[in-house]
Amino acid sequence: MFERIRQARRTARERVELDALIEDCRQLLTERGESNSLVIAARALERYRALSEPAVHQLFEVLAGEFDPDPAVVLQLAQAYAAEQSPENLIALMKAAEPPRQELLRRLNRAPDGTGALVAMRARLLQRLRQQPALKSVDADLQHLLSSWFNPGFLTLRQVDWNAPAQLLEKIIQHEAVHEIDGWTDLRRRLEPDRRCFAFFHPMLPDEPLIFVEVALLDAMPAAIAPLLDRRSVPETREDRFKVAVFYSISNCQPGLRGVNLGNFLIKRVAERLQQSLPKLKTFCTLSPIPSFASWYARVEHIESPRLKPAVQRELNAGLQRLRERHGRDLSPLVLPPAEGAPARSRTAAADLQMMQRLCAFYLTDTSPTEQRASDPVARFHLNNGARLERINAAADLSRNGLRQSFGQMVNYLYDLDEIESNHDRFVNDQVSTSKAVLGLL
Amino acid sequence: MFERIRQARRTARERVELDALIEDCRQLLTERGESNSLVIAARALERYRALSEPAVHQLFEVLAGEFDPDPAVVLQLAQAYAAEQSPENLIALMKAAEPPRQELLRRLNRAPDGTGALVAMRARLLQRLRQQPALKSVDADLQHLLSSWFNPGFLTLRQVDWNAPAQLLEKIIQHEAVHEIDGWTDLRRRLEPDRRCFAFFHPMLPDEPLIFVEVALLDAMPAAIAPLLDRRSVPETREDRFKVAVFYSISNCQPGLRGVNLGNFLIKRVAERLQQSLPKLKTFCTLSPIPSFASWYARVEHIESPRLKPAVQRELNAGLQRLRERHGRDLSPLVLPPAEGAPARSRTAAADLQMMQRLCAFYLTDTSPTEQRASDPVARFHLNNGARLERINAAADLSRNGLRQSFGQMVNYLYDLDEIESNHDRFVNDQVSTSKAVLGLL
Amino acid sequence: MFERIRQARRTARERVELDALIEDCRQLLTERGESNSLVIAARALERYRALSEPAVHQLFEVLAGEFDPDPAVVLQLAQAYAAEQSPENLIALMKAAEPPRQELLRRLNRAPDGTGALVAMRARLLQRLRQQPALKSVDADLQHLLSSWFNPGFLTLRQVDWNAPAQLLEKIIQHEAVHEIDGWTDLRRRLEPDRRCFAFFHPMLPDEPLIFVEVALLDAMPAAIAPLLDRRSVPETREDRFKVAVFYSISNCQPGLRGVNLGNFLIKRVAERLQQSLPKLKTFCTLSPIPSFASWYARVEHIESPRLKPAVQRELNAGLQRLRERHGRDLSPLVLPPAEGAPARSRTAAADLQMMQRLCAFYLTDTSPTEQRASDPVARFHLNNGARLERINAAADLSRNGLRQSFGQMVNYLYDLDEIESNHDRFVNDQVSTSKAVLGLL
Amino acid sequence: MFERIRQARRTARERVELDALIEDCRQLLTERGESNSLVIAARALERYRALSEPAVHQLFEVLAGEFDPDPAVVLQLAQAYAAEQSPENLIALMKAAEPPRQELLRRLNRAPDGTGALVAMRARLLQRLRQQPALKSVDADLQHLLSSWFNPGFLTLRQVDWNAPAQLLEKIIQHEAVHEIDGWTDLRRRLEPDRRCFAFFHPMLPDEPLIFVEVALLDAMPAAIAPLLDRRSVPETREDRFKVAVFYSISNCQPGLRGVNLGNFLIKRVAERLQQSLPKLKTFCTLSPIPSFASWYARVEHIESPRLKPAVQRELNAGLQRLRERHGRDLSPLVLPPAEGAPARSRTAAADLQMMQRLCAFYLTDTSPTEQRASDPVARFHLNNGARLERINAAADLSRNGLRQSFGQMVNYLYDLDEIESNHDRFVNDQVSTSKAVLGLL
């Protein structure tokens, strides 16, 4: 009973705060707000941070509903612009068509730590988007502005090493998304002289890594992930041995920056930086997972593509059927090392393994309409960046996750700095750049 | 003859470069450009920097003509949005109505030193605006983006003192626009413990002050500028004597940021900073010029305002006529100190001096439709920031410039941090906040 | 066979290197060496670093034997100075009596990283001192110079927090000597807002902490160590709750600096720094172990001191006998919490506990000739710094180590900044400053 | 009358302060002082800074008189050490022979800004040395300690450029001792890309340059100073043109560090640094004045040296006589450009000019007993550093000062990094390394 009263009071108090916050937002957009915007913006964000979860959702709704452009005005100005394309007409139209919400967000951004608050706000908004699709317009405005503010010209590339602040390293441990970092000893191995870690930072969030990449410096392109991650391996310190830089992990730290292009720029800046400091490096490549090959394999029934020679298409379909018959929908056993004392891998097994790789090659390079470019997100990311599909490695990741996703296969994507532009160009036109070896599989 | 050929060749070569640059711009906007935008943007800016003056003007024309939104598409989407205000319709409209030029500029900004290049580009564009009014839309886009990137949340306030790098101090000397700095000795006096200088910086232009303000710390609100600028005056070092902070000069350093609100935020941030480090400071004010009082006085024929009591209006008009009769259109002689041996200022002269100040008070506070708020730009700036018109000082600036602009008068605008918001509010509603003393003059 | 040859060759090569190094040392001391000393010193230290263990010992011997002052010359100059105390005679004597070894060490110090090399060299030398007592003179010279170079005027006090470089924090973990740090989570708790860590650094060894102290900020003087070290305790963040700063651990990191006074200055500088940033702090104290009480208790047979009243002396001797009879030489069981279900501590046990504390109070304050001041090294350190013996806490450290050293007792030494000087003064004259509570025990 | 009383009172107050300061010094040396030395040292230095000039002189006397070693004790220990050279005897002797003053100074150095205070104290002491020769022992102790603390291993080399703090550049202007810097414009020219300036700093005096050198980067070894100093000359920015680094000015900033070897190390560190950043630099040389050639020429009567061939000696003496007869004791007119319209330089004049250079070559290379090595201080400095006398340039410095000192002649000393060691070695043995060209003059 008392609890209900207390709850009611809390709700009432919250309602008052939410109303005050919405009033702040309105005021920020008035002429008066422009002059005192710092004070009002700081106040508004302080109120925002104190809101309960439901109140935040109500705020989002208000933001989505109240700060849209006026349809009648926009229409009228669009007609005027259509009638005469004068600068004046264009400027008037542009101003009217931009949601006032954008100006509101720009003014909130002026507050101390405003940028951090808006990035965090978008992270929350994205979690609500499915339940409240009407918030899409708010999200579009936030993404539009954050893309402008977090453009690569404003970002700083910093190397993260064992001399970095512990609080930063702690965030690296926490955000590593591809190959989990198991504590400080594991991290330390990844920062030895034959490993590198680089992160992007924004001047307004100097302690927050936005995205980071981990690199291994090796003498040859690697075919398996386990040796790279082995924390007991002895670091190679002779720099003249480093021929290949392998981007083996790339992780975003800020969910609020989803859709803001960072990874592409990071890889290229890091490649340049490494090239400068280690001129003997010849090769920049990845060792990447294939997150959805297994699920594609499990559901695909028939292989067909105008790009395949009919004979090859027949072979693949026959192979697919054979694999299904022999192994069902899980090919993992093919790659697992035979139990002790068991007979060596048979010739049939070897043929099956090769067929799996051929199917994988098809899967990664197929851009026929049904599959719409490489359907694998990692492949799409690197190919769109201008990388080349260089090598498919069987038995490259025997972790539970690796077997589940791709029956242990991993891919090397190659960044040839001279070909990036043309590769990307081809990919835009539905062609995947591949090495001869991968081409040979088809 | 040879010269003509050489000239022709140069022109041809330039034409090729300009075309290549325009091609870069188009490419930057394609899908392909997004992925390789850093490389292309850097190349484009390098080409831009090498262009001759006429080629730059041609480029501006292309920017103004080719990167506008498509009127038909915008109109269609405006109609759809008018018919149904769904998020999808809004997002589509917003994207179509924003000139592609903005995305182009955002991508140019990604290049190393891109931000500096765009600020410099706008400075050039502003110089062309009168001859080529069609460039207005390009300017609007640049201002829109620069306002977003140079918002106060991204700026750093730094104190400039005698420990600052010489190259920075050199820029302060060069950009001081109100009271010229006459070399390093003069500058040094302005950085002694009873003077302060603060500037805004942007993370992307760390060596470039954007705007700076000079402050004198005194024991009372000053009535004349000469003692503040006297480079032989002995610095006061006892901090407990500082009661008043006087903003006696504020100067922009970047013509390319015209229209981007910086001064308002600078004054308030500096006032806050000073308040923190010197809690005994009670008063924040300016000692400001009145740049256009003399020219207003020269052309005004009749004083009339609904806000004036009829009696006062009659007095002012009579006074105006009397001053004109006795002194013509130049009131400077009234304030100049009498020559040696000359009789002391007569009672008539004293009355004339007071009448001049009354007219000045009227000039600065009149917001009747014909004069559209305070027509004096300095008054408009401070009043709009929320300052109060505190005191009009006769014989405050006897330099040639001071006599020419305002017959030697200067104004103290008072920043009362508690009243800023309401003062600004009133000013937006055509009311000028004044002290009782100024009110008394009317 | 081959191995023997190889070994012989290696030894021969080493002999050559050692001879070359000794030659470098001689040359460094010649006139010629002064001008090129940087080059020669760098070469010598490089050779030194490559020496095998036995070669280092040979080098130490040479240093001890060859670089002594000439006795005849010194004697002659001492006679001259005794005859006439002119500045010239004094200067000549001083130069002759200083071992040339000191100038040699000063010149080695000029090499890049020379200071670090000399600190490391002394650490090795100290390990040899027992076997080679002749090295004492080398050690005296090294200590003399290091004391001059590591004087507190040259040291920087830096706070070590979670923002410090990981490589530095790793050294803190490694060198903590009083209460072991069990990994990064444990460390992190010790750097939360209610804990502080400060270290001294030398400009020439910017990444090497020399000595560090750990501080807990509490609301009252603590009587037990476990709550301070509990890594799951919730950090107190309200600064106004901090009344007492407890120095609970102080650790040297550089064995090569043994005998160089650092701890005394560290504690006082930290106390000052804390006082400034937290003016509400009223008390600065320690919670310190008593490393050798148990061994004293085990061997003491009779208590006797001219400072004790005869009655008290009798009581203590009677108590000592009683404790021995009842508990033998290990009093730990007295402080351990009774097992579950066991009867509460009896009245006798309480009396025994108190007697133990009385004996401890005697032990810590006795400065009679036989015991020569406080024989406990920790007590000697703090009392000599000017601290007061404030409180003896029974059952304060129930760890194995705590029970073994002092049957679980710990001491609070109090640093009263106003009394430090006079307390130190008294201690020099064999008087220990104590609180009334401790006095009451006697 | 009143003035006398006031004066007497002031003197009495001063006497009290001086006594208190001396008491502080005594206390600093006691056991008690060691523990509280920071507090006492800070207090002592504060008192010292407030002393009047006469009181400082009194203090110096006390320092010279009271803190000497005990002659009897030293003698006794010297005898013991002569009897047996045990480490214990040596350590005891060493401790007794070192003036307690040194320990006093080391403890004063612990105070905040203690190092700066001691450097300033020595500067004052040096000014008194002539009047109070008894202070020599204090000076010896100060120099001994400052040499140890300002050893090159502790110094930081920093480039001083236009980005340096104004307060630092101001000190450069003020301390330039060779070729005066005439204001900020002149300074700026000396910091352009074809000029360099480097200074040594000590960690305890981070804002105080200790010594600095100015360097010109040229394409050939320069024969005259005026072009190097011409502030209107256009800076060369193409780094591949820089073949020669000319040290054209080296200035000490701290009179208190006289006798502490800094210049030698500075030149070598700068040469190394330049070599690294500009690998195309082939030659490191100076363009140096000959401060005392003119005064030598004015007083020399007869040239005689065992190193000269008899024929050459005869030629030089004949030449000396001829020059004296024709030009008296001032040879300046020989090098001044002929007045307009005057006849070109005659053959006789050319011969006289050459004879002057021969005499100069003799002067700079003569090391016969009477002249005790190169008697020119600049020559002694560079030759002792290991430089070679490369070229004597007539008419190289036509400034008033240049004509007065050396009839306009200047010298290039060459630093050949490979020969420095052997050149220095030869110089120590009274041999001056010269180029063939200079050798040819003799």
Give the mean pLDDT of A241-250.
96
Contact status of D314 with chain C (Cβ, < 8 Å): no
D151's tokens: 């050893």
pLDDT single digits (tens) D69-94: 999 999 999 999 999 999 999 999 99
Contact status of B117 with chain D (Cβ, < 8 Å): no
- Number of C-alpha atoms within 13 angstroms, CB side, residue A213? 26
pLDDT at D340: 67
* Site of tokens 């110094």: D155
Contact status of B162 with chain D (Cβ, < 8 Å): yes
| D345 pLDDT more than 80 | no
Query: Looking at CA atoms only, how far is residue A156 from chain B in angstroms?
Result: 10
Residues of A in contact with B79 (CB under 8 A): 75, 78
pLDDT single digits (tens) C113-147: 999 999 999 999 999 999 999 999 999 999 999 99
B421 and A261 within 8 Å at the Cβ level: the answer is no
CA–CA distance, D274 with D282 (Å, rounded to integer): 10
Greater model confidence, B420 or D167: D167
Q: Please report the number of interchain residue pairs, chain A to chain C, with beta-carbon separation below 8 angstroms.
A: 31
pLDDT single digits (tens) A44-86: 999 999 999 999 999 999 999 899 999 999 999 999 999 999 9
Contact status of A136 with chain B (Cβ, < 8 Å): yes
D240's tokens: 């591949």
Residues of D in contact with C72 (CB under 8 A): 82
Summary mean pLDDT of chain C: 92
Q: Which residues of C65-77 are buried (b: 16+ CB within 10 A; e: fewer)?
A: eebbbebebbbbb
pLDDT bucket at D346, cuts 50 / 70 / 90: confident
Partners of residue B284 on adjacent β-strands: B245
Q: Where in chain C is the domain with CATH 1.20.140.90?
A: 2-149
CA–CA distance, C101 with C25 (Å, rounded to integer): 9
Residue A202 a catalytic site member: no
- On whether the CB atoms of residues C117 and C45 are closer than 8 A, the answer is yes
B67's tokens: 């990167």
From D72, D82, D99, residue closest to C90, measured CB to CB: D99
A44's tokens: 């508004």
pLDDT single digits (tens) A163-207: 999 999 999 999 998 899 999 999 999 999 999 999 999 999 999
B93 and A91 within 8 Å at the Cβ level: the answer is no
Q: Where in chain C is the domain with CATH 3.40.630.150?
A: 293-439
CA–CA distance, D247 with D39 (Å, rounded to integer): 45
Contact between chain C and chain B (3 or more Cβ pairs less than 8 Å apart): no
pLDDT bucket at A296, cuts 50 / 70 / 90: very high
pLDDT at A345: 65
CA–CA distance, D1 with D13 (Å, rounded to integer): 19
Residues of B in contact with A136 (CB under 8 A): 87-88, 91
Catalytic pick among A382, A399, A424, A433? A382
Chain D touching partners, 3 or more CB pairs below 8 A: B, C
Residue C238: how many other CB atoms lie within 10 Å: 9
pTM above 0.95, yes or no: no
Known catalytic residues of D are: 288, 382
C382's tokens: 């703090």
* Continuous segment of H or E residues that includes residue C217: strand C211-218
CATH code that applies to domain A2-149: 1.20.140.90
From D79, D94, D140, residue closest to C91, measured CB to CB: D140
CATH code that applies to domain C293-439: 3.40.630.150
pLDDT single digits (tens) D373-387: 557 889 999 998 999
- CA dihedral of B68, B73, B78, B81, whole degrees rounded to 10: -130
Residues of B in contact with D188 (CB under 8 A): 166
Q: Which residues are CB-contacts of B148 (< 8 A; sequence separation ≥ 6)? A: A106, A145, A148, A149
- The class that CATH gives domain D153-286 is alpha beta
Chain A touching partners, 3 or more CB pairs below 8 A: B, C
CA–CA distance, A82 with B79 (Å, rounded to integer): 12
Query: Looking at CA atoms only, how far is residue D425 from chain B in angstroms?
Result: 43
pLDDT single digits (tens) A386-436: 999 999 999 999 999 999 999 999 999 999 988 988 898 888 888 899 999
Residues of D in contact with B164 (CB under 8 A): 165-166
Residues of B in contact with A114 (CB under 8 A): 153
B87 and A140 within 8 Å at the Cβ level: the answer is yes
Residues of D in contact with C75 (CB under 8 A): 78-79, 81-82
pLDDT bucket at A306, cuts 50 / 70 / 90: confident
At what angle are helices B2-29 and B31-50 packed, to 10 degrees? 150
Partners of residue D336 on adjacent β-strands: none
Best B74, B135, B147 member to test A by mutation, with max A CBs in 10 Å, is B74
pLDDT bucket at C148, cuts 50 / 70 / 90: very high
A89's tokens: 């007409």
- Phi and psi at B259, nearest 5°, equal 85, -10
Give first-to-last CA distance, chain C, whole Å: 73
pLDDT at C342: 66
- Phi and psi at B30, nearest 5°, equal -80, 165
- On whether the CB atoms of residues C158 and C148 are closer than 8 A, the answer is no
C163 and A162 within 8 Å at the Cβ level: the answer is no
Best A158, A174, A181, A184 member to test C by mutation, with max C CBs in 10 Å, is A184
Partners of residue C244 on adjacent β-strands: C218, C283
CA–CA distance, C303 with C310 (Å, rounded to integer): 11
D137: closest chain C residue by CA: C87
Query: Looking at CA atoms only, how far is residue A215 from chain C in angstroms?
Result: 20
Give the mean pLDDT of A146-151.
95
One-letter identity of residue A194: D
DSSP C222: -
| A36 pLDDT more than 90 | no
Query: Looking at CA atoms only, how far is residue C419 from chain D in angstroms?
Result: 11
- Number of C-alpha atoms within 13 angstroms, CB side, residue B268? 21
C98: closest chain D residue by CA: D94
CA–CA distance, B306 with B308 (Å, rounded to integer): 6
Q: Where in chain A is the domain with CATH 3.40.630.180?
A: 153-286
- On whether the CB atoms of residues C18 and C59 are closer than 8 A, the answer is yes
Contact status of C149 with chain D (Cβ, < 8 Å): yes
pLDDT single digits (tens) B130-155: 999 999 999 999 999 999 999 999 99
Residues of A in contact with C167 (CB under 8 A): 162-163
CA–CA distance, D303 with D305 (Å, rounded to integer): 7
- Phi and psi at D356, nearest 5°, equal -60, -45
Cα radius of gyration (chain C): 27
CA–CA distance, C82 with C76 (Å, rounded to integer): 10
CA–CA distance, A69 with B81 (Å, rounded to integer): 10
Contact status of D384 with chain C (Cβ, < 8 Å): yes
| D429 pLDDT more than 90 | no
Instruction: Map residue B125 onto helix, strand or coil.
Output: helix
pLDDT single digits (tens) B102-132: 999 999 999 989 999 999 999 999 999 999 9
- On whether the CB atoms of residues A345 and A335 are closer than 8 A, the answer is no
D169: closest chain B residue by CA: B166
**The pairing of beta strand B156-159 with beta strand C195-201:** unpaired
Interface of B with D in 180-239 (CB under 8 A): 183-184, 188
| D325 pLDDT more than 70 | yes
